[in-house]
Amino acid sequence: MTIAPDLDPLTLALQPPPDETPQAREARLQLEREAKKRSDLIDEEINRERIADKKSVKSVKILLLGQSESGKSTTLKNFQLINSPKAFKAERASWRAVVHLNVVRSIRLILNALAAAEESASSAHSSDSDDPVEMVMLDKLTDGARLRGEAPDDDPSPAEISVNSAMPWKKAFSRLINNIRDSIEGPEINEPQDSREARELLHACSGYMVRLWNDPIVKEVLKIHRLRLEDMAGFFLDSIERVTALSYEPTDDDILRARLKTLGVSEHQFTLKAGNMVPHNWLVYDVAYLVTREFFVLVYFLAAWVPYFDSMHAIIFLAPLSGFDQVLAEDDKVNRLEDSVLLWKIIVSSPLLKNTNLILFLNKCDILKKKLASGQNFRQHVTSYGDRPNDFENCSQYMKKKFAVIAKQYSPEPRAFYTYFTSVIDSQSTSDILGSVQDTLIRQNLGRNQLL
């Protein structure tokens, strides 16, 4: 048999037999049609998967780092406020108890200062655990979903209230306090007795607290003790009447200002689509700062944070500039700003983070401005500042340069990082900054090389 020159062996093998009957031909064609249908279906499926894969949500992981009270949780709240406003609103009632506890803590600081002024050493140094008002409030409001911080023996200030993020404290709080309107306008069947008692107790004390806070002698005593409550975390004394009203519901601003120390890890997830880009699944982690300072700082630091370093695309490091004249709550020998500088040094020099995008928030600029305007001397605490002017512009730029020099000097490889001057309690400006951070992260190398 001769083979036609234009027929290859495969085509030849697939050719119908020369003596094919009409029935056999029909059966063969039927089989071929079915085979083609199957093949088309498979092609379609492959195409669908390819398109779905292109559209599939990629993940961006951000870790929030910084010393205690630097503003990590507040930044996380801003992420929630921007990206999941409904969920944020749903948690509003839970924050009311935190605001109330913040008020009680401020009042206790005043009472302690007054007691100290009267040289009543025992009451000035009383341990926080025997304060009846705060204990009652705490027990009634938190339903046991709390951990209390340990205050050093010689520290007259009350220990901070902290809630382990692993505990369902928001649920506990909202269960206890979620029927505000019912309790005012109608039957109070749903609000537990304990919660109502605590709120009524605070409401009944409202007038006394206002008088105490506005008393000129109290102001004088606080001045002598250099206790600037208005610069402290969780300050609501200028709004006592409003926040202790029975109908009080915290505003966004109140929630951003409320202070609740984090223990453990808080996580926030949301999906974000920038322009016509692929949607990204964002995961923002707020990891508690666990340094107790009894041991070498690095040991604790590594233990708490390093497990999160591995897969992070970016770190937002918060350094509160306002801490230039303050010491750490956990160690009164360490200046807060110096501590931030030390932590920044550790972060930038970590080989584990050499490819991680670094975003520096020089935070609490609003407090820094107020402090400098009221005459606090920057140079007195940051001696290297020399005789530069004692104003916000110069002080903040000086610190920005300091952080940049450290990054340049200690980074394992040359790297760019982004610096922002922030006041993360200001939701509008923070929203703009976080918007630009999110955009930058997607469009940067991160977007091109690691995610897309």
Ligand X SMILES: Nc1nc2c(ncn2[C@@H]2O[C@H](COP(=O)(O)OP(=O)(O)OP(=O)(O)O)[C@@H](O)[C@H]2O)c(=O)[nH]1
Annotated binding site for GTP: 69-74, 256-262, 363-366
- Which DSSP category does 151 fall into? P
Among ligand X, Mg ion, none, the one that 330 touches (CB under a kind-dependent 5 to 8 A) is none
Going by the annotation, the residues of the binding site are 69-74, 256-262, 363-366
Nearest of 89, 448, 88, 59 to residue 271 by alpha carbon: 59
Q: How many residues does the chain have?
A: 452
C-beta neighbour count of 313 within 10 angstroms: 22
257 binds, among Mg ion, ligand X, none (CB under 5 to 8 A by kind): ligand X
Tokens 């897969």 map to which residue? Answer: 311
Q: Are strands 280-287 and 265-272 parallel, antiparallel or unpaired?
A: antiparallel
Letters for 160-179 (x = contact with Mg ion by CB under 5 A, - = none) are --------------------
* Contacts of ligand X in 151-210 (CB under 6 A): none
- CB nearer to ligand X: pick between 320 and 447: 320
- Is residue 262 near Mg ion by the rule CB under 5 A? yes
Name which of ligand X, Mg ion, none residue 323 binds, using a CB cut-off of 5 to 8 Å depending on partner kind. Answer: none
Nearest-5° angle of CA 271, CA 276, CA 282? 20
Report, in Å, the least distance between residue 106 CB and ligand X. Answer: 11
In the DSSP assignment, the letter for residue 307 is G
β-pairing, 58-66 vs 280-287, is: parallel
Tokens read off for 203: 């409401």
Q: Give the annotated binding-site residues for Mg(2+).
A: 73, 262
222 binds, among Mg ion, ligand X, none (CB under 5 to 8 A by kind): none
- Nearest distance in Å: CB 436, ligand X: 17
Tokens linked to 342 = 């030390």
Which pairs from 442-445 meet CB under 8 Å and 24+ separation? 442/60, 442/274, 442/277, 442/280, 443/274, 444/357
Region of 11-19, 169-177, 418-426, 443-451 interacting with ligand X (CB under 6 A): 418-426
Stretch 364-403: interaction string toward ligand X, x if CB under 6 A: x-xx------------------------------------
- Residue among 61, 100, 175, 259 that touches ligand X (CB under 6 A): 259
Closer residue to ligand X (CB): 77 or 280? 77
Distance CA 409, CA 415 (A): 11
Task: For residue 85, give every residue at least 6 positions away whose Cβ sits within 8 Å of its Cβ, in sequence order, or none.
Answer: none
Q: Say which entry of ligand X, Mg ion, none residue 395 contacts (CB below 5 to 8 A, set by partner kind).
A: none
Specify whether the CB–CB gap between 297 and 200 falls below 8 A.
no
Q: Which of 424, 421, 430 is nearest to 397 (CA)?
A: 421
Of 94, 423, 427, 438, which lies in the binding site for ligand X, with binding defined by CB under 6 A? 423
Binding partner of 163, given ligand X, Mg ion, none, CB within 5-8 angstroms per partner class: none
- Quote the tokens at residue 319: 């350094």
- Would you count residue 67 as binding Mg ion (CB under 5 A)? no
Distance CA 86, CA 141 (A): 24
Q: Give the nearer residue to Mg ion in terms of CB position, either 65 or 372.
A: 65
Query: Kindly report the CA angle at 224 between 222 and 230, in degrees rounded to 5?
Result: 35
> In terms of C-beta density within 10 A (0-12 exposed, 13-18 middle, 19 or more buried), how is residue 47 classed?
exposed
Q: Write down the least CB distance from residue 122 to Mg ion, Å.
A: 33
In the complex, what is the shortest distance from the CB of residue 103 to ligand X, in angstroms, rounded to a whole number? Answer: 13
C-alpha distances in angstroms, 391 versus 86, 320, 366, 396, 430? 40, 16, 13, 8, 23
**In the stretch 113-132, what mask flags binding to Mg ion with x, by CB under 5 A?**
--------------------
289 binds ligand X (CB under 6 A): yes
For ligand X, the binding residues in 305-364 under the rule CB under 6 A are: 363-364
Using DSSP, state whether 63 is helix, strand or coil.
Answer: strand
Name which of 100 and 280 has its Cβ closer to ligand X: 100
Per CB under 6 A, does 419 bind ligand X? Answer: no
Binding-site size for ligand X (CB under 6 A) equals 24
CB under 5 to 8 A by kind: which of Mg ion, ligand X, none does 69 bind? ligand X
The span of 64-72, 79-87, 351-359, 375-383 binding ligand X (CB under 6 A) equals 64-72
Which residues, 212 to 241, sit near ligand X by CB under 6 A?
A: 233-234
Among 66, 67, 71, 73, which residue sits at the site for Mg ion (rule: CB under 5 A)? 73
Contact in structure between 353 and 412 (CB atoms under 8 Å):
no
Which DSSP state fits 231?
G
Report d(CA 365, CA 409) in Å as an integer.
25
How many positions of this chain bind Mg ion (CB under 5 A)? Answer: 3
Shortest spacing between CB 107 and ligand X, in angstroms: 16
Contact residues toward ligand X (CB under 6 A) are 66, 68-74, 233-234, 256-257, 259, 261-262, 288-289, 363-364, 366-367, 423-425
Contact residues toward Mg ion (CB under 5 A) are 72-73, 262
